[in-house]
Structure 1
Amino acid sequence: MPFIRYALIAGLLSSAAFGMVGSFVVVRRISYIAGAVSHAALAGLGGSLYLKVVHEISWVSPLFGATVAALLSAWIIALVNLYAAEREDTIIGAIWAVGMAIGLLFIAKTPGYMDPMSYLFGNILLIGKGDLLLIMVLNLLVVVMVLLFYPQLQAVCFDEPYARTRNVPTGFFMILLVTLTAVTVVLMVSTVGIVMVIAMLTLPAATAGLFARRLSGMMLYGGIICAVSNAAGLYSSYTLDVPTGAMTILVSGGIYVAALSLRSLLRRLRLQRGRSA
């Protein structure tokens, strides 16, 4: 069925971006920013639906609106963090709540039945050919930018004060990092939804971080784990007739718990061998 193929392709394509950017998010510990951006994307989703139905602007897709809203919210958070005296957690909470409120109001004022649950928790039926093309472009953009500025982004994530002493424009690369995070969040909104996309951004990377010794390895393993979670979640949801987003997150969470248990077991075995030796 076409919509299943579209969902599978979207999940596999976005895995590369999620493995890369998710590793930066986990290492830099900015998952709270990603959460605010993902929830603020609902404003763009609702606004695009309103423009498309009420004002008949056909080229405005929900995914395009989500991209615009996510980028705007990410830039506001980054600029406030860098240049304003306002508390960062305050602006994050405001964008998180206001973005969702605006999105729900737009959906409520759009004629016809618009189910916000499809956008909050994902719906593979929302992915069309146009959305798939946008996902491909966004994914390529994220991968290229990470490859081009990998050393600078790595420096900002691990030791920002030292990077500043080396004349690295840390402010610019912090803005670039939250921009890439916003774009990556949009890639999986259609399949796992706004509420659960933060889990896909952090769980595969966190799982990879349990065993990877280098950031590049963490990115590679995280991308593979994300691809496996997407494929397994899609297959199991089709087989069991349950929501795809929930199954994808459940698979990803199960992999993380299994990896955490395996690492603990390996540590105990090493300790026992060391004591016996």
Structure 2
Amino acid sequence: MNELYELLSFSFFRNALFASILTSVLAGIVGSYIVARRTVFISGGITHASFGGMGIAYFLGFPPFIGAAVFAVLSAVGIEWSSNKAGLREDSSIAILWSLGMAIGILFVFLTPGYTPNLMGFLFGDILTVQVTDLILLSAIAITCLILVKLFYPLILSVAFDSEFATVSKMPVQTIRYISSVIVAISIVLSIKVMGIILVLSLFTIPAAAANLFAKDLKKMMYISVLFSLIGSISGLFIAYFLDLPSGATIIFTLTFIYMALRIAKLF
């Protein structure tokens, strides 16, 4: 117990713990929407495309995550627009943005004069380097998600499960989709520092998939997903610290273990 108190006395670990809680809320809400709409592949495209923005921002001397946010939002809007207006197949536009974003990011990082940064931090994240500014941004987007779900839940539900009915009912389907895509993009980018580009999508998918085993209602699914995400993220963080393991990988492993255990329990 004394060791735990001593651990919590360090500001870097408290920041990491708060980041775990905030990203769990985001993962539960946004991840449930992603899984319900079956747009995990789209989210993966947005995530990997954001690396192009990181590379360009680093090359120009700007904070990498600002570039990532711009690229992610543009990619999200671009995928929606190209699928609905330009007539390009959704999977084709995702594949193009996915590979192009990664290629641009790698090129610009290595073209940057001077010290070449360690790509491992971008790709796999480091929750122990989270700063107060990151927590403020995570809090802002988490609160925004909660408010939007509270105010527009019927619209979100209709668009997620029956977009044709929503269109016939004169609901602003495209507007909801564009706003949702932007929220998903920003949520993912802000979580990259915690989990990295490679692992962040798993954080948004696994808890929602586990919640889907027990709830078919979207709102219940969000609640349960947040709970599973909190358990997995906080447990994974402590396991990673005490066993000296990479935090992101340990959190995903813990979440996957929870999912598999629940999946097996569901069979009996």
Does the TM-score normalized on the shorter chain lie above 0.5? yes
TM-score scaled by length of structure 1? 0.89
Deviation at 1:4, TM superposition (A): 2.1
Instruction: Give the secondary-structure state (helix, strand or coil) at the position aligned to 1:188.
Output: helix
Please say if 1:221 is aligned against 2:224.
yes
Preserved CA contact (<8 Å) 2:19 2:127: no
Shift of 1:142: 2.3
Pick closer, same or farther for the CA change 1:61–1:5 going to 2, 3 Å. farther
Which of 203, 206, 210 is residue 209 of structure 2 equivalent to? 206
Q: C-alpha separation between the residues in 1 aligned to 2:149 and 2:59? A: 34
Identity of aligned residues (%): 36
Q: 1:125: Cα distance to partner?
A: 4.2
Once residues 52 and 134 of structure 2 are traced to their aligned partners in structure 1, the CA distance between those partners, rounded to angstroms, is: 18
1:99 and 2:101 matched: yes
Structure 1 gaps of 5+ residues are 53-59, 266-277
Question: Which structure 2 residues correspond to residues 1-277 of structure 1 after superposition, within 5 A?
Answer: 1-52=10-61, 60-110=62-112, 111-265=114-268
Deviation at 1:51, TM superposition (A): 2.7
Deviates more, 1:130-139 or 1:88-97: 130-139
Spell out, residue by residue over 1:23-81, the C-alpha distance to the aligned partner (whole angstroms, 9 max, x if none): 111111000000001111112222232233xxxxxxx4333222221111101001111
Letter in 2 for 1:88: E
Q: Secondary structure at the match of 1:181?
A: helix
CA distance in 2, matches of 1:80, 1:193: 27
Structure 2 SS opposite 1:210: coil
Per-residue Cα deviation, 1:228-267 (whole angstroms, up to 9, x for no partner): 11111111111111111100100111111011111111xx
User: Considering only CA atoms, is the larger Rg found in Structure 1 or Structure 2?
Assistant: 1
Gaps of 5+ in 2: 1-9
Flag the 1:49–1:127 CA change in 2: closer, same or farther, 3 A: farther
Relative to structure 1, the CA distance from residue 42 to residue 21 in structure 2 (aligned partners, 3 Å threshold; closer, same or farther) is: same
Q: Return the offset for 1:213.
A: 4.1
What RMSD over aligned residues (CA atoms) do the two structures have, in Å?
A: 1.4
The number of aligned residues is 258
Alpha-carbon separation, structure 2, partners of 1:148 and 1:17: 17
State the shift of 1:141 in Å: 2.1
Whichever residue aligns with residue 33 of structure 1, its letter is I
Q: Would the aligned equivalents of 1:142 and 1:184 in 2 still touch at CA under 8 Å? A: no
Residue range with higher mean Cα deviation, 21-30 or 179-188: 179-188
AA aligned to 1:133 is: I
Runs of 4+ in 1 over 3 A off after TM superposition: none
